[in-house]
Amino acid sequence: MMREAKLRTSPAAVVDNLNSTPDTVPRHVDCIVGARPNFVKIAPIIRALREQNGLAVRLIHTGQHYDVTMNAVFFEELDIPCADINLEVGSGTGTEQTARIMLGLEPVLRAGRPDLVLVVGDVNSTMAAALVAAKLNIPIAHVEAGLRSFDRAMPEEINRLVTDRLADLLFVTERHGIDNLIKEGLHPERVKFVGNVMIDTVCACLDRAVPARKTLSEVGANADFINAAMKTGFGFVTLHRPSNVDDPVKLKSLVEALVDVARKICLVFPLHPRTRAKMVNAGLDRLCGESGIVTTPPLSYLHALGLMREAKLAITDSGGVQEETTALGVPCLTVRDNTERPSTVEEGTNLLVGTSPAALMPAVEDIIATGGKTGRIPALWDGKAAIRIAQDVCAFLNVEHAYARSIRHRLETGPLESSPCA
């Protein structure tokens, strides 16, 4: 109770409070995850935070994603420790999910009383956890802060706006994020430009990525498809945003555009459960099969990374794929009118083609003819973002010890060997 009364939302007050805590007491950090892209982001962060003694770190899973292919396989491949607590909220509308996460998380945070709650990304679990922490007066760190599509029809945009407003530490992946947060009136002292933890995971996993040929054979692609894909190249496709897949008419026109594209280049299309359900309802899965597009269940991280690395191009509406293809130097066509990750367009290999199916074919033909857009890797996408985050978390929580010094040493050495920048 004493402690609760002492914690206030102003960062200076929080730091004062922590400064008065003896150094021997470990600071407690609760990391919250819920959905597939969260797992890719949390893996390097958990590693970096747990590598030292001054922090006690718990992992709390909301259960937003629960299928083995969307969840367990990522924990295994990315070596994420088992969650300490799983709220098992499951599926529902955004509001239902948010409400269930809030109800489940409140008693957990009330009992555990962490010194910091760390949330990643922009999914419903991110915002719900930030709301609960804020209501309990627990400081919040948000990893991937400041990204804005300026499109409030996207559920993620609402999640980003709310989470950033409530966060005490805002970890930014690209410079635009800093500008957005400052324009929104957030205090510059709270904003930390650390780079991109998605790219930390790319760097950590490239050596283990599954070769495309092996994946294609595992998913049952026939020999002709595999030979053609290996010889003339293939496109890697993902679509799952409600705005692209929920309306059957829109989805049909996009799938028909993919069928056209597949006449020029082999396509591999892992289906998100949402997309699969909508395609099955509309009979579009059969259309894909007949046209030679290879559809697969959701792929593991190492399988997806291997396909992306070898692809001639990607067609996607995913935020993560836009970033990963920029890091890998693979041309990416984003089937959206906007992106909250403008560095991937300005500096990287990403091109926004919009959601009109007619725009897809000319963009694909251009890549086939010219090799597509080349780019450079944005600043601090160097495989060390999680180390910077751990350093800032330690500073915020006043954890000054050998580890903080060892992190500094690692930051001062060159890029990691497997970094796309190396």
- Whether the Cβ atoms of residue 83 and residue 61 lie closer than 8 Å to each other: yes
In the bound complex, what is the minimum distance in angstroms from residue 309's beta carbon to ligand UD1?
Answer: 20
The answer to whether 273 contacts ligand UD1 (rule: CB under 6 A) is: yes
The Cα–Cα gap between 183 and 191 comes to: 12
Look up residue 374 and give its two tokens: 């080349």
The residue among 133 and 221 lying less far from ligand UD1, judged by its C-beta, is 133
Q: Nearest approach, Cβ of 236 to ligand UD1 (angstroms)?
A: 16
Range 393-412, binding ligand UD1 (CB under 6 A): none
* Closest residue by Cα to residue 335 from 351, 313, 312, 311: 351
Look-up of token digits 């919009």: 354
Q: Which of 240, 272, 303, 401 is catalytic?
A: 240
Give me the least distance between CB of 275 and ligand UD1, in Å please. Answer: 9
Least distance (Å) between residue 159 CB and ligand UD1: 6
Residue 290 backbone phi and psi in degrees, to 5? -65, -25
- Of 36, 148, 190, 303, the residue at the interface with ligand UD1 (CB under 6 A) is 36
Position 66 contacts ligand UD1 (CB under 6 A): yes
Q: In what order do the strands lie in the sheet with 332-334?
A: 294-296, 266-270, 234-238, 313-316, 332-334, 350-352
From the CB of 418, what's the least distance to ligand UD1, in Å?
Answer: 25
Q: Is residue 240 close enough to count as binding ligand UD1 by CB under 6 A?
A: yes
What's the start-to-end Cα distance of the chain, in Å?
Answer: 50
Task: Judge whether 240 counts as a catalytic residue.
Answer: yes
Rounded Cα distance, 317 and 254, in Å: 12
Residues 71-130 that bind ligand UD1 (CB under 6 A): 71, 91, 94, 122-124
Instruction: Give the residue with the Cβ less far from ligand UD1, 299 or 311.
Output: 299
Largest CA distance in the chain: 69
In the complex, the residues that contact ligand UD1 under the rule CB under 6 A are 35-37, 64-67, 70-71, 91, 94, 122-124, 155-156, 240, 272-274, 318
Residues marked as catalytic: 240
